[in-house]
Every structure is written in structure tokens, then in C-alpha cells.
Amino acid sequence: MVVSDLFRQAEETILIAGYAVYQGQKVFHALAQRMVERPALKVRMFLDIQRKPGDISSPAELVRWFAHRFQSDEWPMGGPTPEVFYDPSGLFGSLGDDLEEQLGSNFGKRDIAEFVHKC
């Protein structure tokens, strides 16, 4: 897998921006190993948290659920974990723009601290 090879060669920083994570334990296995081998490796992920239709949970509950699911289902067990950030506008369903649109139109136009929140 090409992405695994890239993860195995990382020296200083990895930035991953994506819409959704599927089969994360398999996809991120090499990255998790590399983070153990190189403790100074800085890994940041910018992911979208989607509110499913009909979901009435609070934004805080949605973030807690996402963070728990990411660590328990998507990230390989043990070892360090990456910093995970999200665009808070996705927590409000159709009220906000989604991450893909934001990255395409606004990334670099405003301070990253205004764009994302840490899980």
C-alpha cells in the first residue's frame, strides 16, 4: 500500500486531511508503528465529524462519540495517538459548510485556530 510506505518513511511531520476514516486500524498501522519508532514525529489529522440525519445529540456529545470511536475502532491499539482536529460547523448538520468545501475555499485564508477544534 503506497500510503503505508509513506508513513514508514516519515521523519518529522505528517498532516492528514480527510472526510471520513474507514478501516483505520489497517490504514494507520504503519503510521502508529512509525510514531513509536520516532517519538518526535508530529502527526495531525483534520477530519470531518458528520451529524447523521435525525441525530439530536449535543455537539459536545457528538465530539465525545467521535473521539471514542476513533480511538477504539479506527486507531491501532497501544502507543501514541495523533492530534485530531475537526471543523465545528459540521456539528450543526446542514447549518455549516463541510470540511471538504472549507478546505477547498478557505484553507489558508484564515487562522487555523479559527478553523478547527481539537478532539
Residue ranges per structural domain of the chain: 2-118
Output the CA torsion 14→16→21→22 (10° steps): -60
Q: Write down the pLDDT at residue 110.
A: 42
Name the β-bridge partners of 16: 45
pTM listed for this prediction: 0.75
Chain segment 10-41, per-residue pLDDT in tens: 999 999 998 788 899 999 999 999 999 999 99
Q: Write down the pLDDT at residue 76.
A: 94
Name the β-bridge partners of 42: 13
Q: Write down the pLDDT at residue 93.
A: 62
Rg for the chain, CA atoms, rounded:
15
Give the chain's residues under pLDDT 50: 94-97, 99-100, 102-103, 105-115
Q: Write down the pLDDT at residue 117.
A: 63
Pairing of strands 83-86, 13-17: unpaired
C-alpha cell at 99: 470540511
Q: Write down the pLDDT at residue 109.
A: 39
